[in-house]
Amino acid sequence: MHSLSVAEMASALTEGQCTSEELAQVFLDRIARFDTQLNSLITVDPERALAQARAADARRRQGGCGPLTGIPIIHKDIFLTQDQRTTCGSRMLERFVPHFDATIVARCAAAGLVTLGKSNMDEFAMGSSNETSYFGPVRNPWDTARVPGGSSGGSAAAVAARLAPLATGSDTGGSIRQPAALCGITGLKPTYGRVSRWGMIAFASSLDQAGVFGRDARDCALLLELMAGFDPRDSTSVDRPVPAYSASLEQSLAGLRVGVPAEFFGAGLEPAVGAAVETALAALKDLGATVHPVHLPNLGLSVPTYYTLAPAEASSNLSRFDGVRYGHRCEQPANLEDLYKRSRAEGFGTEVKRRIMIGTYVLSAGYYDAYYLKAQRCRRLITEDFRRAFETVDVLVGPTAPEVAFRLGEKTDDPVKMYLSDINTIAVNLAGLPGLSLPAGFVDGLPVGMQLIGPHFSEGRLLNVAHQFQRETDWHRQLPPAFA
């Protein structure tokens, strides 16, 4: 049962081949059996999950179910869940229990999905390997000596190991797409504003976007349909109708104009990864697409631009964690200043502290124009590159990450080398575009991801392209041998 797609599970529930409670138990048993090897989950609540599953079964008997009623899901621990611990992978929020659900959590619950638990993540979503979590690193199901990617590595690893059929994630600079690539699953970061950020703990507010993980494009389409949509509580939410993404998956790719940015295939790309993506491009051509070279001349500015802007926003967003209102508080502070200093020093990890310091520096009076303002100008140049590219092509395609999953500890002592793991994904967030990663092959037994990028609000097109590719390939059906 665990190896089925979400659509197949939903069909089994509809036809009475299993109940939601039985399905939830299958995945809870797999979590109990396998997650000691992966550390993909921070919180698991079997009692709560089974109660939701029984409610879903009752709902099905009454005839009021939707397409995902009774399907299990895991939420990244960055999304608030009422009466259930939400840590953001940090000691700062180790004991924090919210009083309400994030919008996407509430929408999933309203649709009858069953929450199995909360996934591990890089602390406050700051990381590319899921090694900065206060609760320990997550391991890649394809090789537990390697990273799953980050910051949504727990969600990606759980779906890849079939500990859950669906998971939510957040993407600030590639944190859905990069772990999806490294774990061999499908992950979608929607257009900025397409999915509500209300109830998502903020890292960098102009870049953060909630998104989805699934085995394949159809699974992601089904989940995105119910998560997306306007939310008046989120000032960045876009009031725009939500298409029926799953209804447009069968559209032919004949005449699709695929742009291949030369900058994605330059220095730093593992040759074998590039070769796998080239093979995938040939498959798209066989499906009727035409391939065109394009250029994103300012793509090289994306990493320094991102690591100026994101820390600046983080330093502001994380100032609320001061030991006074909620979160970690130091023992026996001598005075208010001591309370602030020690609470933050004890509550935050090394990478979070590094980014707070960088952000505070670039926002300071003497350096604002030289760094922050200049980075905003660079952001505009990057956005314009994409706009020009989409005047001549429909989607852009390239490798999601320049390499396959690297070993745990391999880059922890070199932050710049770690930051470059996201070199192909960051620009998409800077421009607010949708991006999707899907499996496109293997190198030495490790998954390779292919990234699809589209204009604003083209999620339906990206899912369509991914689905047509997945009809002709079986990379997305592969299971890590140790978790089959």
Among 175, 196, 246, 421, the active-site one is: 175
> What are the φ and ψ backbone dihedral angles of 473, each rounded to 5 degrees?
-130, 165
CB 156 within 8 A of CB 148: yes
Angle at 212 between CA 209 and CA 218, to 5 degrees: 140
Q: Which of helix, strand or coil describes residue 186?
A: strand
* Cβ atoms within 10 Å, residue 95: 11
Do the beta carbons of residue 133 and residue 120 sit within 8 Å? yes
CA-to-CA dists, residue 157 to 188, 332, 410, angstroms: 15, 40, 19
**58 CB contacts (<8 Å, ≥6 apart)?**
none
Contact predicate 265/274, CB 8 Å: yes
* DSSP symbol at 152: S
Angle 397-297-312 (CA atoms, 0-180°, nearest 5)? 95
Whether 151 is catalytic is: yes
Catalytic residue among 76, 118, 189, 411: 76
Dig out the tokens for 119 from the structure.
């996934």
Is 175 a known active-site residue? Answer: yes
| Residue 426: Cβ within 10 Å count | 27
Bridging pattern class, strands 290-294 and 257-261: parallel
Q: What distance in Å separates the CA atoms of residue 5 and residue 438, rounded to the nearest whole number?
A: 15
**Token couple for 316:** 């502001």
Give the chain's radius of gyration (CA, Å): 21
Provide the β-strand partners of residue 93: none
Cα distance between residue 107 and residue 128, in whole Å = 28
Phi first, then psi: give them for residue 427, nearest 5 degrees: -60, -30
Do residues 300 and 263 touch, judged by C-beta distance below 8 A? Answer: yes
Kindly give the pairing relationship between strand 186-189 and strand 290-294: unpaired
Bridge partners (DSSP) listed for residue 171: 209
d(CA 119, CA 77): 5
Distance, C-alpha 95 to centroid of its chain: 24
Active site residue 76: yes
How far is the C-alpha of 318 from the C-alpha of 375, rounded, in Å? 21
Catalytic annotation, pick one of 20, 119, 129, 151: 151
Three-state DSSP state, 114: strand
Kindly list the catalytic residues. Answer: 76, 151, 175
